[in-house]
Amino acid sequence: MSDFFAGIDRVPFKGPESDDPLAFRFYEPDRMVLGKRMEDHLRMAVCYWHSFAWPGGDPFGGQTFQRPWFGDTMDHARLKAEVAFEMFERLGVPFFTFHDRDIAPEGASLAESNANVCAIAEIFAEKMAATGVGLLWGTANLFSNRRFMAGAATNPDPEVFAYAAAQVKCALDVTHELGGANYVLWGGREGYETLLNTDMKRELDQAGRFLSMVVEYKKKIGFPGTILIEPKPQEPTKHQYDYDVATVFGFLQRFGLEGEVRVNIETGHSVLAGHSFEHEIATAVALGVFGSVDANRNDYQSGWDTDQFPNNVPEMALAIYHILRGGGFSTGGFNFDAKLRRQSLDPVDLIAAHVGGMDVCARGLLAAAAMIDDGGLDAALAERYAGWETPEARAMLESDLAAIAERVERERIDPEPRSGRQERLENWINRFV
């Protein structure tokens, strides 16, 4: 045991009246909501990179955190793993997530780097067996090393493509061995800075083939989890090919992968794409590619991805409403892809931030469940689209323009607009949040 969280016990549930900052006010793992345990609805995870690898920098300043596990040795990596599982246990989270370069230092060769990752994975396996904490997903960092400055799968150098493929193979192997529920691909630099030196068709074809290889290898090794893509519109590149959910879906369709790959949607990335969080979730549900969620929030005044802990209950409630209406999570969950502010230096800040985020998700779930139980939105939608339930309207979708035009003239159809009742529905939402 390390002493990093000394004096901090396992976080208890104390209820809505509690003013204890290290106690849950709404998150009760065993509470039944719509016939299912709260923990099983939310499937929450702590991310390794922001919680244990991020040094506290921003675009204008460097490291502010001083952690005893910061360093490039395997001893540092082992201590980091010890502290991580101590935090998982204190929070009572069922899952965690990682990039390969979060958990172990990069070596002088890919073989050495892979050996480091596998050595830490062995520690993970022991701790997972002892604690019951599972792996929501793993992934490979194909963006930090300078070799990836022009992308990984989309790189103009075929040797970089090859290195990335080999790195992903190892990360997927480790994820499989640890029983991961998903494997994520984030195209951190799969895009361009300028079209002056970019062959877009070539790069898109490379990306499609790379993703197909991942799916093929998943099947070869018998990995039962879901392959996920995480959309993001920009930053670090000027334009990324996985801009938003709709763009990713079009990409998947082009390469025949829409039945093989789903999306991991992040709140902050939705904002950067000019969308709301619930829009991206509803789009994914409508297109049949909803997979998992990175729970955070973005600063609406900043032009970069701020990855703050979620604290907006109305926003979370609407997001979870759409998740529940879409059938809920299968292999996915809520991963806290969120980091402390660079002035939040203390170990207790790391615990308190997650406690707050978990409570926000719990409150959002309870509000969304109440909205579903009430049925107000379902009733409003049914009323608004009732005309499409008539035999004439359904038949029109199987008809043609000429026949429809003839009917309009024959029946002298001249429709008047009807109110969308937006304000009344917004008022209705506020009854629950």
Q: Which of 63, 44, 47 shows the shortest CA–CA distance to 55?
A: 63
Number of C-beta neighbours around residue 343 at 10 A? 8
Q: Which of 174, 101, 170 shows the shortest CA–CA distance to 142?
A: 101
Q: Are 134 and 92 in contact (CB under 8 A)?
A: no
Q: Which listed residue (102, 173, 242, 359) is catalytic?
A: 102
Q: Which of 251, 230, 240, 145 shows the shortest CA–CA distance to 192?
A: 240
* DSSP result, 132-193: --EEEEEE---SSSGGGTT-STT-SSHHHHHHHHHHHHHHHHHHHHTT-SEEEE--TT-EES
9 is catalytic: no
Q: Are 296 and 250 in contact (CB under 8 A)?
A: no
Q: Are 282 and 251 in contact (CB under 8 A)?
A: no
Q: Which of 166, 404, 410, 367 shows the shortest CA–CA distance to 278?
A: 367
Residue 46, strand partner residues: 96, 336
**Tokens encoding 423:** 């304000």
**Tokens encoding 374:** 């009430």
* DSSP result, 102-119: HHS---SSHHHHHHHHHH
Q: Which listed residue (41, 50, 99, 269) is catalytic?
A: 99
102 is catalytic: yes
Which sequence positions are flagged as catalytic?
99, 102
